[in-house]
Amino acid sequence: MKYAAFLLPALAAASPVAQVVAPDGWADAPDPTKIQIVSASFSGNGCPQGSVSTTISPDKTVVTFGFDRFQTYIGPGFNPTEKTKNCQLHLNLKYPTGFQFAVVESTYHGYAQLDKGITGTFYSTYYFSQDAKATTTTQTSIAGGGIWASGQVYTKADRIPTASYIYSPCGANGILNVNNRIALTSTNSSAAGEITNDDATVAFTQQVNLMWRACK
């Protein structure tokens, strides 16, 4: 596998800490005040207009999205169109000439209630518009039943190793796209499940941390 993805139940709403990590041998990050996340937009049936909040950290290296309508359902009474939803994020980024960045981590929080027989799968595909063929996709699943039958909040953390880092074009603005999809499948037509952020105390948020390297 080209990546690692971790999915853990959590007992309380997590408070993720934004971080920029510089491994040994990498260039120091440029002055964060020179990094600009120029704008952020989104598209997809999981994030209709007006349902997403976007927050950029003061140092402009972390973007946090909050989703109000990124909700999937499966089971008796639900339209089959409810079992998969996607939300693609588009980040218009400006960065100092001479540096590139790589996506290194993203973290998701949400709520899942899945009967035995239901599986929920998360896919996140990262690519730059300037090189749409170079993509990195993470995939991780929850098998229903057990603790998930009664409902749990969860944290999903993607960590993409160096070999599969995707880098922004050198010395240019870049548009980073992150296509997130949640899909529910069932082996039992009587079973039901949902993966949703529709919970008063746990927001389904995504954080994209940016890592920098010097252009060659």
Ligand X SMILES: *[C@@H]1O[C@H](CO)[C@@H](O)[C@H](O)[C@H]1NC(C)=O
**By C-beta, is 115 or 158 nearer to ligand X?**
115
Piece of 55-63, 86-94, 171-179, 188-196 that binds ligand X (CB under 6 A): 188-196
Q: Is the separation of the CB atoms in 29 and 212 below 8 Å? A: yes
Handedness of CA 43, 104, 94, 108 (dihedral sign): positive
Site string for ligand X, 95-134 (x = CB under 6 A): --------------------x-x-----------------
Report how far apart, in Å, the C-alpha atoms of 173 and of each of 28, 87, 186 are.
Answer: 20, 23, 43
Q: How many CB atoms lie within 10 A of CB 105?
A: 19
Interface size with ligand X, residues (CB under 6 A): 5
Which of 191, 208, 210, 211: binder of ligand X (CB under 6 A)?
Answer: 191
Among residues 52, 121, 136, which one has the least CA distance to residue 89?
52
Helices (H) and strands (E) counted in the chain, each on its own, are: 0, 13
Establish if 162 lies at the interface with ligand X (CB under 6 A).
no
Question: Residue 39, interface with ligand X (CB under 6 A)?
Answer: no
Binding status of residue 190 toward ligand X by CB under 6 A: yes
Q: Which residues bind ligand X (CB under 6 A)?
A: 115, 117, 188, 190-191
